[in-house]
Amino acid sequence: MQPRPLSNDALAFETLAIHAGQSPDPTTGAVMTPIYQTSTYAQTSMGEAVYDYARTINPTRSALQDCLAALEGGRYGLSFASGMAAIDTILRLLKPGDHVLASNDVYGGTFRIFTRVYEQYGLQFSFVEMGDLNAVRAALRANMRMVWIETPTNPLLKVADIAAIAELLSSHVGRPLLVVDNTFATPYLQQPLKLGADIVTHSVTKYLGGHSDVVGGAVVLNDEAAYNRLKFLQNAVGAVPGPLDCFLVLRGVKTLPLRMERHCANAMRIAHFLESHPAVQRVIYPGLPSHPGHAIAARQMRGFGGMISFVVKGGPEAARRVAEHTRIFALAESLGGVESLIEVPAAMTHMSVAGSPLEVDAALIRLSVGVEHVDDLIADLERALSLISI
């Protein structure tokens, strides 16, 4: 008996995370998508085959792409070898002379590829406070072809009103593409396409994979013409993930709703703890009423995420001391895994923005709050913060 295909219509997110794009294998009935570890496929006749070469198409990758599209509420999904490969492919939709308006707080790697790679090919970039609609409106240009948002941003956790920006762009000449990097929020907490975005991108290395054991990227969209162009670029440029990587992300996505609930709950507890600690100067977390984007985040997100940034008293040396003396929080870059991580962005993930208008306060610490018991995490931070002299 052939497995019955599953319709995504009216299914809840939790069900889609487990089943979307992942019908039981028709040959064996395996409920987990097989790892099709092959580079080429036998053809019944020349040029007539669903599968021909693995850079172009792979069944494991197709399952992941269909799953991620369903989770974002999109029609089309594409997977890449890294989040940066996904960003690179999106930028290839543009041509010399085109302008990109971006958040004034973006991931260091995003800033680097914008300013140190694509500017030399004639693309123009400027950066603005996306939480200020008047500033966004004032920054619009006639040659603008793309607006790039992170929300929440990395590492300052700024929040942008996706629907309001989409509405603003709808009347601008040429209707620039609205791209949202949804890595921090994940599709479980936020679905930008439903708020008016044109393209959503992810580093699936982070929450979607969820276990710090895979590197990958993704793009999800609804427009068929843009999808066909991006699919062509995916094949032509070739930055595709291997089948094992795709399998690992598919496995991780199955528990995404469960993990995100715990990430959010733990982060909220820790944010309140930090806000009351005498060694902490400022806490940045969208779930706190003190966050300037709290109301927008509450409106467009299901929860407030697992990322927290905070500034300690005592400056950069104090931040270093705290980051180097936690025991459960591992001193490491990246984020979104089940284990908790701590870093100082100015000296680690965001060194590439040093000396630019996007430079990060050297006393800022970023936490990726994991799913361990929250009491243990708070005790770990309490011990490390006690090393600061105030």
Q: Which of 145, 158, 206, 320 is catalytic?
A: 206
Q: Where are the alpha helices (DSSP H) in 209-293?
A: 224-237, 243-253, 256-275
Question: Has residue 2 got a pLDDT over 50?
Answer: no
Is the same domain home to 98 and 43? yes
Is the same domain home to 223 and 319? no
Question: Has residue 61 got a pLDDT over 90?
Answer: yes
Under the banding of pLDDT at 50, 70 and 90, the label for residue 7 is low
Q: Which of 55, 141, 269, 321 is catalytic?
A: 55
C-alpha dist (Å) from residue 49 to 43, 44, 57, 230? 6, 7, 11, 22
Is the same domain home to 215 and 304? no
Is the same domain home to 270 and 244? no
Under the banding of pLDDT at 50, 70 and 90, the label for residue 389 is confident
C-alpha dist (Å) from residue 94 to 177, 200, 361? 10, 16, 33
Report the number of distinct structural domains present in the chain. 2
Burial (CB count within 10 angstroms: exposed 0-12, middle 13-18, buried 19+), residue 29: exposed
Q: Which of 107, 188, 227, 285 is catalytic?
A: 107
Kindly report the CATH number assigned to the domain that includes residue 366: 3.90.1150.10
pTM of the model: 0.95
Is the same domain home to 54 and 165? yes
φ and ψ of 331, to 5 deg: -75, 105
Give a yes or no: residue 4 inside a domain.
no
206 catalytic? Reply is yes
Is the same domain home to 274 and 199? no
Question: Has residue 275 got a pLDDT over 90?
Answer: yes
Give a yes or no: residue 109 inside a domain.
yes
Under the banding of pLDDT at 50, 70 and 90, the label for residue 5 is low
Is the same domain home to 186 and 287? no
Is the same domain home to 191 and 270? no
Residue 280 lies in domain: 256-385
**Which of 198, 225, 253 is the endpoint of a domain?**
253
Percentages helix, strand, coil for the chain, rounded to the nearest 5? 35, 15, 45
Give a yes or no: residue 239 inside a domain.
yes
Give a yes or no: residue 367 inside a domain.
yes
Q: Which of 181, 198, 361, 380 is catalytic?
A: 181
Give a yes or no: residue 191 inside a domain.
yes
Is the same domain home to 71 and 43? yes
Give a yes or no: residue 21 inside a domain.
yes
Lowest-pLDDT choice from 30-34, 158-162, 308-312, 319-323: 30-34
Closest CA to 340 of 311, 322, 367, 364: 367
Under the banding of pLDDT at 50, 70 and 90, the label for residue 44 is confident
Alpha carbon 87 to chain centroid, angstroms = 11
107 catalytic? Reply is yes
Is the same domain home to 229 and 362? no
**Which of 253, 288, 304 is the endpoint of a domain?**
253
Under the banding of pLDDT at 50, 70 and 90, the label for residue 26 is confident
Kindly report the CATH number assigned to the domain that includes residue 136: 3.40.640.10
**Which of 200, 230, 253 is the endpoint of a domain?**
253
Give a yes or no: residue 277 inside a domain.
yes
Give a yes or no: residue 292 inside a domain.
yes
| Residues pairing with 282 in the sheet | 311
Strand intervals (E) in the chain: 76-80, 99-103, 124-128, 144-150, 177-181, 199-203, 217-221, 280-284, 307-312, 330-331, 341-343, 364-368
Is the same domain home to 265 and 238? no
Q: Is the dihedral of CA 181, 184, 187, 190 positive or negative?
A: negative
Q: What is the largest CA-CA distance in the chain?
A: 76
- The pLDDT of residue 273: 98
pLDDT tens sequence across 324-378: 999 999 999 999 999 999 999 999 989 888 888 889 999 999 999 999 999 999 9
Is the same domain home to 351 and 296? yes
Question: Has residue 1 got a pLDDT over 70?
Answer: no
| CA 48 – CA 283 distance, rounded (Å) | 59
